[in-house]
Structures are given as C-alpha cells and as structure tokens.
Amino acid sequence: MERFIIAHMYPDLLDLYGDRGNLICLKKRLHDYGFNCEIRSIRLHEKIDFNTIDMIFMGGGSDREQGLVYHDLLTKAERFKEEIENGLPVLCVCGAYQLLGKYYQAYDGSIMEGLGIFGFSTQGKKERLIGNILIESETHGKKNSVVGFENHGGRTWLEDHQLKPFGKVIKGFGNNGQDGSEGLWYKNLIGTYLHGPLLPKNPHIADYFIEAMTARKGLTLNKKLNDEIEWFAHEQVIKKLQKSR
C-alpha cells in the first residue's frame, strides 16, 4: 500500500482555530482511497527532508509565534521555494499564509519581515475581520463554492497582479475586505484565511491536494468517496450566511 507523508510545520506554535482538522481530514480521506498516511511534525530547529514528503501544512498563530517561525523558516526558505515551484502541495492558513509575502506591518507600526516568496504584503488593523465566509473558486475546471470561517486582523494585498487568488468573495471579507479576493493559489500551493478547519467542509479542495499528491507519484484515484456528510456541513455554512443578509 502506497504511503504519503504530510509535514505538519510547527504544530506547537501555529495551532489556532482548529486547523489541525485539515490533517485529520486528509489522513482519513487518503485511507478511504486505499493509501497510508503519516503526519510528520516538524518543530523549531528541526530539519525537513523535502525528498521524503508529499505535502506541507502550516496553520495560524499569534504575532509572537509567527516571529519565531519566520527565523526558523529562513533557514529552509530557499529549498521551500524550489519545492513550491516544482509543484509540492502546500496549504498555509492565516499566519502561515502571511509569512509567504514580503512583510507584515502591525497596527502599531512595527514590521515583521516575510519570506518574500510571493509579491504581497499584509497590513495589520486593530479591527478584526470575523465571521463565516463563502467564496467562489475554480477547481477541476469549474467554479465551486468554498466555505470557512475567518478571524484575522491583517489585510493582505496581492501587489503582484499575476498572482491568482484562491477565490472570489461572495460573502465575507477575504484578503482585505475591499477588493473581493481571498487567499492565494499558486501551482499546488493554497494560502488562505479560511479556518474552520477548511478541508472537512470542502471535500473538493481536500481531493485537490490528494490528487496533486497522487499525481506526483504517478498514481490515480480509482474510486469516489461518499461525501454526503461533508457537503451537508458545507451547505449549513451557506444557509447561515443567507440568513444573515
């Protein structure tokens, strides 16, 4: 049985808002598809063997934790960027997403440098953008709804106009609450503010990552899972948003 290894970066620091549930979802779905899955924790100052992993996940954390992670990620940034370019599946949520850009400027004016992998920056505001969110994102060649929960003070601006958002905001705030964009989608990397966690309520996005992982091994998915419960949860978020109009 084929085995997949997902690296969970800094699980003791970037652990806000239930985002660990994304890993539980991926492991369960991979098992249901007939594969083994290992979640490998990578903590501060630990090396990561990019040759043995099939996906990277990083969640959200406070400004302090982001600062600690940033300095450690700098030592891995060059290889990390190479792997992103080579199509390594990556999911970065909230604080981890912000770290991929040029910098984060807090509302008190202090600046925390980012990895500079992508041409965007984040401005921190005291007022947080909080609530359920619905976006439209193109997956598998068609537009699909994606739901989640956002809770962030940062306003992210994609300054490189060639960058593609993860989706278009239908209801909620997204990257900055103004331009209608949410997140970032580059090759097999998705950066997003959607917590909840994201993947259990969006099985099509979970399968996007699984398909990317299997394709890199020359494998294909030969069955379809019963996602009735997942889509029920998905629709409940949409109904809540419709009632809030």
Q: Which of the following is catalytic: 94, 152, 204, 234?
A: 94
Peptide bond just before 197 cis, omega within 30 deg:
yes
CATH numeric code, 3-243: 3.40.50.880
Long-range contacts of 221-230 (CB under 8 A, 24+ apart): 221/33, 223/33, 223/34, 225/29, 225/32, 225/33, 227/203, 230/200, 230/201, 230/202, 230/203
Instruction: Tell me the per-residue pLDDT of 144-197, one tens digit each, with 9 for 90 and over.
Output: 999 999 999 999 999 998 999 999 999 999 999 999 999 999 999 999 999 989
pLDDT in the model for residue 141: 86
Q: Which of the following is catalytic: 25, 37, 152, 195?
A: 195
Instruction: Tell me the per-residue pLDDT of 197-244, one tens digit each, with 9 for 90 and over.
Output: 999 999 999 999 999 999 999 999 989 999 999 999 999 999 999 987
pLDDT in the model for residue 207: 97
195 belongs to the catalytic site: yes
Q: Compute the distance between CA of residue 160 and CA of residue 121 in angstroms, rounded to an integer.
A: 10
Domain segments of the chain as ranges: 3-243
Q: Compute the distance between CA of residue 53 and CA of residue 88 in angstroms, rounded to an integer.
A: 9
Instruction: Tell me the per-residue pLDDT of 67-91, one tens digit each, with 9 for 90 and over.
Output: 888 889 999 999 999 999 999 999 9
92 belongs to the catalytic site: no
pTM of the model: 0.96
